[in-house]
Structure 1
Amino acid sequence: MSSLVERLRVRSDSRPRYSLDESDEESDLLFGKSKKSEDFEKIVRDDAKEDSCNACGESGNLLVCETCTYEYHPKCLMPRLKAPLPTAWRCPKCVNPLNDIEKILDCEMRPTVADDGDASKLGSKQIFVKQYLVKWKGLSYLHCTWVPEKEFIKAYKELPRLRTKVNNFRKQMPVGNSSEDDFVPIRPEYTMVDRILACRQDDQEKEYLVKWVGLNYDECYWESESDIASFQQQIENFNRLQSRYRKLRKQKSNVRDGFDSKNKSKEFQQFEKSPEFLPGGELHPYQLEGLNFLRFSWSKQTHVILADEMGLGKTIQSIAFLASLYEENVSPHLVVAPLSTLRNWER
């Protein structure tokens, strides 16, 4: 477990963090943001680099702060800003980055580079300070970072809810050495790709919409190809499915050429006995009746609901219905089911 956490901890500690939540009413009040005021004088930062990123010093494709003279590359921000890029954006100096914290995962004393004043007192460039492991809004567990406690203390006055979040985290922290040994801040499967759902590409790099092992579909995130390069098998599976889907669409398009499917009703064929293409047994009479009911409704383009009692085989009736359509070269089908049963549906 330590190797996993360490791999997450080394992700660009030196890069600045940012906040991007233009709808946040609290930040709007704090920084005097007015939707009506368009003409205002920007804050001139003495250390701003002209036409260059304030983090890496290089030029090209820079985000310009709306309220000051700082400029950054999207990739140099922490957490990194992904496409689509905002039209109005404020840098980490103008907007408190801790406003984008989703949850606090861990806390410990960690080494960091000391300031010149502290280094002269301690006689070393490296000191240990208390830091919090943070998960950011809109980013997966791959992009968790460590934030020094002093940053939290400075933000308490501006973000009163942040103090509550820290206090709640402290209450949930394990107490005692035995509990600490078993404590896992990030479960390993949360950083493992379960499947890839979609793909998009901007001017810079290809991105994939990732479903993570052990997490629900509402926690899918867009990840750059370089961040999930070690999961080539899942990428290949996605590409193979996409290729099959494009091939099926082409076949269906060729079959439908020459007639209007909307005006031509589908012919209903009733099964008198359990279909031969269903292995492993035969359908009960009431299940066969349910199968024919589904097929008849489908032929009339009517939506239906199976309302049998529990344990009578609604699932096998649905599977038999889809299998009958597949036998007639009608595919693909979309199955929406609880996460716990998806693997069974795949099989």
Structure 2
Amino acid sequence: MIHHGARRAARSLDALRRGWPVRITAAGGPALDLLAIESSDDLSLADFSADAPDILLSGERAVTLKLTNQRAAANPGPVRICAPASSHAAAFAIADPALDLAHPMKGPFTSAPTGNDPAAAAAMTLARHAGLLPAFFVRTASDDAAETAETQCDADDIAALLDSRRLAIAARARLPVSASEQAEIVAFRTPEEASDHVALIIGQRDATPPVVRLHSECLTGDVLGSLKCDCGPQLHAALHAMADAPWGVLLYLRQEGRGIGLVNKLRAYALQDQGYDTVDANLRLGFPVEARDFSIAGQMLERLNIREIRLMTNNPEKVARIEKEGVTVLERIPLALPTNKYNEQYLATKRDKTGHQL
């Protein structure tokens, strides 16, 4: 049974992607009417507000725009800036840091931190799960019928949506692959999300703990052969290592760009071309450095009746995260691969800023 609040939050996610207004309510703060800047246009903006509306930005983006003092910058929360743009294009230039070089002149702005406003914080979470920039046209909600948002949810509904995701095995089939002709693919589905996660079981299952790789989807690396990351080579090396072991399981998690989505990952690439590393690029976009949800991997292993694993990763944090989901990691297996001139800085950032043991 899906929680009613989770249904409301799912409808709000859909509305944001479509460029429709959403109202978020929360105990302890005013309700907010929101229109995602990325998915809206001048027409929907005019419908949303007759005057230039305020803009709600993530705390991280506010830091890059110098809208916070040093104390607030250490722990930034969402910031509301007052009537800064009269057109969608002008607002988008404020929202997207990848456009800063093309549109360097911004402000001065009149801004106000939202403090611990739960509705503003919930808006940032919704944006990330919708795959959108965390930036909104915003107005304080009123009872005026003409200003009623298309959908409405509560901040607690968003938490219910994330907590209620229950994966189920939807289909499975034999799938010979280049690393091993003895392989089976298992697809997992949850009612709350459109993306299906998959597991590829390599070899014949026996009583020994399998070699497991948690691999986050990377279209650019896995499919297109990008040299900017090591995802594609890691994927194929892991499959061949599993083929050499008694058996193994690749969990292919549909969490592109460490959980920020494909479009935002490409925006991060544009920021890297401007000189920022992967960590700084994510923060400038208004996202956490690590936004993936490893509870999905824990559920997949549970459905496969796997409780003990040998985890193939260079990231000790990944060991800790999957153990929090009730999985015992008996061994961490490193995955060492050569670098190239395009991904040397990327791998150095993983080593120096996110604790990867390379």
Smaller-chain TM-score range?
Answer: under 0.3
* Higher RCO (CA 8 Å, separation ≥ 6 residues): 2
Larger Cα Rg: Structure 1 or Structure 2?
Answer: 1
More strand per residue: 2
